[in-house]
Amino acid sequence: MPGKKYNNLKLVIAYDGTGYKGWQKTVAGQSIEEALQKSIETVCQHPIELQAASRTDAGVHALGQVVNFLTSKSFEDLSLLPVRFNQLLPSSITVLSCENADDDFHPTISAQGKEYHYFVCLGPLQIPHHRLYSWHCPCRPDIELMRLAAQQLVGYQDFSAFCNFHANSRYSHFEREVASIEIIKIDTNRLCFVVKGHSFLYKMVRNLVGTIINIGQGKIGIDRLPAIIAAKDRKEAGISAPAQGLFLKSIYY
């Protein structure tokens, strides 16, 4: 409605992506977006549209997803809104915070960087309570070799070889800057890949992790990495790490 004042509200949310078809609404099944939108519309009592910093895939989790929506409603204490939203949400989705954002704030366009964590469990035995939140690799990879490979993937370059294509892909270019890839040994049997960058191509983080693991397992020679990058062909790189090990950790503004 012309002249009507809308508040731009920014939410930080966490979710367990198990059983969901990803962030984005789809006819294929339940999505995070659909569940969150329903709870917000119930509280605000009018239709809303959500924008998200990252459209996470089916099975991917989030610790710090950022979304926004416009509302004509005024709330005296925004710190109470997460409680109201969470009362209407399944236990697998939690609104962590709510605050007013600038009128021009957009969770994707305004983002300066993203951080993803990917968890890997090593060894012949799979720990049951890790199975939905990590990738089980029975064959122990060479961690130092993987760290050397990760260093070659840091920086600004064409990452076509690490991008999966789908019907909605409309990239004008495939150059991206990976700020850092750390491989942290949590304990004897667990690793965490910490990947930071400004933005990422479709499934790029999972494809980077899968390729690094393949190098650590000796399935791909580390000397092949420059040729893989230069080929700009997804078939030349390693496997895609499964969705359940990936967490969207933080969005930086």
Active site residues: 57
By C-alpha distance, which of 79, 76, 80, 105 is closest to 10? 105
Which pairs with CB-CB distance under 8 Å and at least 24 residues apart come from 155-158?
A: 157/229, 158/229, 158/232
As beta bridge partners, residue 194 has 117, 182
End-to-end alpha carbon distance in the chain? 30
Alpha helices in 67-142 (DSSP H): 81-87
Q: Which amino acid is at 83?
A: V
For residues 16 and 91, give the distance between their C-alpha atoms in angstroms, rounded to a whole number: 9
